[in-house]
Amino acid sequence: MKETQQWTSKIGFVLAAAGAAVGLGAIWKFPYVAGNGGGGAFFLVFLLLTLFIGMPLLLAEFVIGRSTQKEAVTAYKVLVPNSKLYPWIGRMGVVTCFSVLSFYSVVGGWILLYLYYSVTGSFWNGVVDYGQLFAETISNPVSAIGAQFVFMLCTIFVVSKGVEKGIEKASKYMMPLLFVLFIAIIIRALTLDGAMAGVEFFLKPDFSKLTADTILYAMGQSFFSLTVGASVMVTYSSYLKKEEHLAKSATSIVSLTV
């Protein structure tokens, strides 16, 4: 992406940043861990850590990116010209992104396969064994690796289009769809047997379960959910206009994430 490019709208940037922040862990892991870690007590700790530690770090990355107008590694070089240490913050963030991509691309491939199953009617015959279907999906190297390859091609295509025509445009379509899917999942989950017991398990506070480990996990989940420390927000904010209100953008992203 050329450094002369910019986000064309605040909503485009916020949706793209929220897209980088909202992870699958928020769907399939966070509720379970929160329930085991104290329910509402864990969520309260997560919320406080997000507001008082995560959000300031997010805002700091915005400031670094917009003020330098550079991607992460170069941004830290510009920020501290005589330091050999600071650029490694950006480099480690890049390595982190590649590490995350290594497993997200696999899951992205699974999603494409399940989309194919849905379109072809595999889910609607009423007799499908979902556990067996998943086992067959991940154990077939041809379909699993092939789907991962297609997912990577789609990702490369979007990124190659740049900020405005690629990431921003895709986010404006895909993020609202994601929130619709979230709402659909919530509604469906609440109609299942024992749904209220699950809600109580997730939200009922039990401060006796709060330990140093659960607090550290809440902090890690906060950082991961906001994508701080991974160089993404520094790079994204480098394409912001100078008049963009960073605090409002950070608040919007935190609100969408939480």
Summarize the confidence of residues 19-47 as an average pLDDT: 81
pLDDT of the residue at 149? 96
pLDDT of the residue at 124? 67
Q: Is the pLDDT assigned to residue 26 strictly greater than 80? A: no
- Torsion angle of alpha carbons 66, 68, 74, 80, nearest 10°? -120
Distance in angstroms (rounded) separating the CA atoms of residues 253 and 225: 10
pLDDT of the residue at 110? 92
CB 226 within 8 A of CB 55: yes
CB 205 within 8 A of CB 38: yes
pLDDT of the residue at 23? 65
Q: Is the pLDDT assigned to residue 92 strictly greater than 50? A: yes
pLDDT of the residue at 39? 87
Binned at pLDDT 50, 70 and 90, residue 1 comes out as very low
pLDDT of the residue at 2? 45
Q: Is the pLDDT assigned to residue 178 strictly greater than 70? A: yes
> Is 165 strand, coil or helix?
helix
pLDDT of the residue at 25? 67
Summarize the confidence of residues 38-47 as an average pLDDT: 91
pLDDT of the residue at 128? 66
CB 24 within 8 A of CB 178: no
Summarize the confidence of residues 128-152 as an average pLDDT: 88
Q: Is the pLDDT assigned to residue 127 strictly greater than 60? A: no
Q: Is the pLDDT assigned to residue 234 strictly greater than 80? A: yes
pLDDT of the residue at 58? 93
